[in-house]
Structure 1
Amino acid sequence: MDHTRRDALAGSALALSVATAGCLDFAAGDGPQGPEGTPATLTCDDDGFVRLGQPFEASVTETLVETDETTVELSTEGATETYGQSLRLVLRNTGDAPAATLGESAYSLQRETGEGWLDIRGSTSGEAVELPRTEASLDTSSAYSWDITLTESGIADAVDGVDLEVCPPLGDGTYRFVYWGLVDAPPIGAEFELVG
């Protein structure tokens, strides 16, 4: 088969355009752009950003909590999650009695830092905001489920009725989801590694 100079140039142009497209995708912000590993703390360049506080003092129980009346279990699909994919979690009442809760929005999304666990979300209004708390009952064999897209906007938009932002941007590191809405029970959480 005969190859002409025109064929060689066309092949080179195609290879260059594919390589450039990959660079443009990266430059456009695909993948986590925040600090990697375990940062000393989480800082935000927006002076009006007020980070969500930690609404619980008790230590976090991992995946299973027993109350005086029932048992509640938190499950997730894996211990490693990819930026841009969905974090899927289910909180199930596996016991024999209803569990009093503060609703589905009573959770924190935290990152491990040198100062401890800090929520990655906050308000840019310059004032602190609180997540909605609605007294509810998680009946036996019932569940709350979350499907949170692991991007800044996906996390910020996951709670209806509250204007939240994620700052700084997400970066590769250790995170955890903590449901603190179980009444008369410690918070329950699941850790995961976020990768690009």
Structure 2
Amino acid sequence: MERTRRDLLARTGATLAAAGAAGVAGCLDFAAGDGPQGPAGIPETLSCEDEGFVRLAQPFEGEVAGTLVEVGGTTVELSSEGNSETYGQPIRLVLRNTGDEPATALGRHAYSLQRETAEGWLDVRGSTTGEAVELPRSEETFDSTGAYSWSIDLEETAIASAVPDLDLAVCPPLGPGTYRFVYWGIVDAPPLSAQFELIG
């Protein structure tokens, strides 16, 4: 009996030592560069040292609505899983026509991913070609019960590659702060937005 207890204690000690080592390794990984590396809080603006980087312009004017708009006798709603997201984890959003009539939309890529700065909301993405580009858009019927869904990992490469056939980058790197996803593609309706905090 005594021997079994000693064996159990020895095994438990070894397991705890291994877990402790893994925990330290995780801390070292984070310190070595994992996690958001950009400016924290509300920066003055978003600056990029790459001279060929041209930030995406805001493709809409006026105020941004919340998560619900009425248009053409129907209702369109934008929902997200939460209002606090961890760097590297996916943000999941769904845009639904919850009414009885169709709406007109400009496709699933008619969105901006913006960060709050002292000079206003700015898209975190831009062209890497030295020239301004526009996001793809084409009018299509957004039927009653229709939906678009997104799952975008909150890290630079995944955000830049979420729109096919465009050479985009995120610059500067993401940092802890306030962001919003804005879908501006419902024709004759104000843009819908879901705001969230990005944490390390």
| TM-score normalised to structure 2 length | 0.87
Counterparts of 1:133-148 in structure 2, within 5 Å, are 133-148=137-152
Mind listing any 5+ residue stretches in structure 2 that lack a counterpart? 4-13
- Of the candidates 152, 156, 168, which is equivalent to residue 152 of structure 1? 156
Partner of residue 57 from structure 1, selected from 33, 40, 61? 61
1:186 aligned to which of 181, 187, 190: 190
1:75-94 to 2 correspondence within 5 Å? 75-94=79-98
What is the CA deviation profile of residues 79-130 of structure 1, one whole-angstrom value per residue up to 9, with x for unaligned ones?
A: 1011111100000001111110110000000000000000000011111111
Query: 1:172 — aligned with what?
Result: 176
Cα drift, residue 24 of structure 1:
3.8
Any gaps of 5 or more consecutive residues in structure 1? 2-9
Equivalent AA in structure 2 for residue 80 of structure 1:
S
Amino-acid identity (%): 69
The one-letter amino acid paired with 1:60 is V
Q: Which amino acid aligns with 1:177?
A: F
> How large is the RMSD of aligned CA atoms in angstroms?
2.1
Q: SS of 1:153's equivalent? A: helix
Cα deviation per residue 1:41-77 (whole Å; 9 max; x = unaligned)?
A: 0001111110000000021100000013211000001
Aligned residue number for residue 129 of structure 1: 133
Does the 8 A contact of 1:58 with 1:187 survive in 2?
no
| 1:153 partner amino acid | T
TM-score (norm 1): 0.89
